[in-house]
Amino acid sequence: MESNDLAIQLTQWAEKYQIDDILSIANTYEALLSLKSLDLSHKRLDSVPSCLFELSSLQTLNLSHNQLTELPQEITKLTNLKVLDISWNHITHNIDFLSSEIKIKKGWNRQ
């Protein structure tokens, strides 16, 4: 994905969901790519945009307390991911495609 396209897509998505972590650095492509931690909890998300998986430096991703029903396999593009919090969602499908290196917090997923 082109750097400008990524910045535009992430900015538009971040504005829609009021994601301050992204909005504060969205004008700098390098800053987006070097983002290590992202808290997307309590945003009423029902999906995760594919452009998010271009943030290859992410080590911690908090998706807790949303309305997610699945995780796209594209999340495996986040090769530096160490901690993934998907608790308090609606995820009922298999997530075995995730690396065993990732600490996954998945408590209380409603069916």
Domains of the chain, CATH where assigned: 3-105 (3.80.10.10)
41 vs 2: which has the higher pLDDT: 41
Question: Which of 28-32, 54-58, 63-67, 90-94 is predicted least confidently?
Answer: 28-32
- φ, ψ for residue 105 (rounded to 5)? -100, 115
What residues contact 98, with CB distance under 8 A and at least 6 apart? 71, 75, 76, 84, 104
Residue 88 pLDDT class (50, 70, 90 cuts): very high
This prediction's pTM: 0.85
